[in-house]
């Protein structure tokens, strides 16, 4: 979907979200783009019902269907295949001017960081990758497991269909990592205290001594805007109802409540709250922290990566912006990329991953034009570099 093709209603909703103005879920649900996406969800659920019925002879309603209804032998095969690929995803390696890859070493130090926040709040780009590189920690992300469950995941349209199965895979992966006392970073929504508490207790049973909670905070409207923009630019769909499920006028912000409970509970070593409502190119703001001795170094490292141009504050590299027709995406590999253990090279997973950072300008079109200027500037810089190579060949030799 091109930005030029979205409805005027969608443009209005995006502008409101970007300026942090309240937009109801009912308004968003009426958008033609969202209505069409929900129809596709229904179609995919119906196809899965037919597929499972053909394999098992059991009839299910589309409202109750998910991939865990597959025969056990199929589930085992899918799980083992996914775990093998996830095993090849190690710690993040973030270098200025280069793509972030996940082929770094994983240390066995019994250190666990759990990062919580709304969907589309930018948990990974804000702090998960930085923590992974800093502690040389493996990332266990349920969303990455989902991407390996094809064809049902279908670029997010089937996320609900594979949710339970991906949870089982991530739990198995977590147990393997815990048994080796690997340093681990786990991004979660974190709306349920008991779920996070269970992970912490399991880690302690395996001997983990350092366990911290990080909360990436972003207003509901901003998260909604980022979720919608990601859908528009990359056709990566998650139901907007997910945002309201965790943050609404009746229940409040469930994730904030989880964070507050852990702060006062005494069962973790430390905590930190990061405000990710920042301009593009800026690092998330550390609002508070306690008990994390390395927090200043982590904050400095996060800011350094932004200042040196390796990151635009939303997890995308300034040198990775590419043009695809009239729309811009970023050439940042997803964490589901397989990494060859013998060569260390990465292989493409579910395609390109775009920025989750919210657009700060009231106009969607002006935001994309601003991005176009970045691309044009990069092209001009590369042209200048070629001129320098011609006149100063020795000073510009590539080190081998």
- Specify the 3-state DSSP secondary structure of 306: helix
Residue 192, pLDDT > 60, answer: yes
- Specify the 3-state DSSP secondary structure of 8: helix
Here the tokens at position 220 are 């509901």
Q: What is the mean pLDDT of residues 347-356?
A: 35
List the one residue out of 137, 143, 135, 133 whose CA is nearest residue 100. Answer: 133
Quote the mean pLDDT of the chain: 81
Q: What is the mean pLDDT of residues 265-290?
A: 92
Widest pairwise Cα distance in the chain: 73
Residue 314, pLDDT > 50, answer: no
- This prediction's pTM: 0.77
Distance CA 146, CA 151 (A): 10
Residue 98's pLDDT band, with cuts at 50, 70 and 90, is: confident
List the one residue out of 365, 353, 349, 358 whose CA is nearest residue 120. Answer: 358
Q: What is the mean pLDDT of residues 114-119?
A: 97
Which domains are seen in the chain, by residue range?
3-41+72-362 (3.40.50.300)
Lowest mean pLDDT, pick from 122-136, 165-179, 218-232, 305-319: 305-319
Helix and strand numbers, DSSP H then E, in the chain: 14, 14
CB environment 313-335: b (16+ within 10 A), e (fewer): bbbbbbbbbeeeeebbbbbbbbb
Instruction: Give the pLDDT of residue 251.
Output: 93
Q: Of how many residues is the chain composed?
A: 400
């Amino acid at each position: 979907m091109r930005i030029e093709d979205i409805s005027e209603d969608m443009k209005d909703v995006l502008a409101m979200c970007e300026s942090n103005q309240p937009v109801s879920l009912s308004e968003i649900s009426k958008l033609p783009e969202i209505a069409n996406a929900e129809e596709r969800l229904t179609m995919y659920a119906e196809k899965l019902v037919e597929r499972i019925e053909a394999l098992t002879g059991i009839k299910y309603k589309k409202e109750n269907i998910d991939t865990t209804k597959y025969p056990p032998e199929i589930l085992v095969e899918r799980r083992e295949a996914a775990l093998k690929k996830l095993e090849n995803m190690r710690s993040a390696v973030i270098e200025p001017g280069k793509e972030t890859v996940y082929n770094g070493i994983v240390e066995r130090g019994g250190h666990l960081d759990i990062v919580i926040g709304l969907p589309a709040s930018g948990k990974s780009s804000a702090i998960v990758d930085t923590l992974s590189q800093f502690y040389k920690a493996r990332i266990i992300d349920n969303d990455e497991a989902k991407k390996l469950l094809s064809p049902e995941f279908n670029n997010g349209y089937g996320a609900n269909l594979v949710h339970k199965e991906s949870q089982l895979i991530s739990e198995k992966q977590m147990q393997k990592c815990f048994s080796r006392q690997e340093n681990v970073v786990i991004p979660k929504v974190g709306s349920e205290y008991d779920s996070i508490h269970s992970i912490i207790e399991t880690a302690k049973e395996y001997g983990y001594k350092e366990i911290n909670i990080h909360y990436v905070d972003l207003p509901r409207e901003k998260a909604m805007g980022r979720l919608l923009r990601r859908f528009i630019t990359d056709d990566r769909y998650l139901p907007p109802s997910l945002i309201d499920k965790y943050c609404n006028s009746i229940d409040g912000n469930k994730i904030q409540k989880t964070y507050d409970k852990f702060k006062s509970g005494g069962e973790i070593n430390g905590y930190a709250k990061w405000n990710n409502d920042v301009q593009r190119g800026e690092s998330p703001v550390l609002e508070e922290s306690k008990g994390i001795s390395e927090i200043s170094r982590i904050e400095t490292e996060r800011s350094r990566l932004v200042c040196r141009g390796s990151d635009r504050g939303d997890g995308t590299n300034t040198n990775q912006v590419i043009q695809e027709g009239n729309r811009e995406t970023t050439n940042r590999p997803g964490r589901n990329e397989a990494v060859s253990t013998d060569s260390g090279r990465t292989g493409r997973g579910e395609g390109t991953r775009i920025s989750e950072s919210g657009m700060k300008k009231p106009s969607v079109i002006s935001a994309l034009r601003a991005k176009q200027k970045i691309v044009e500037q990069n092209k001009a810089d590369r042209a200048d570099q070629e001129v320098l190579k011609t006149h100063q060949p020795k000073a510009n030799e590539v080190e081998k």
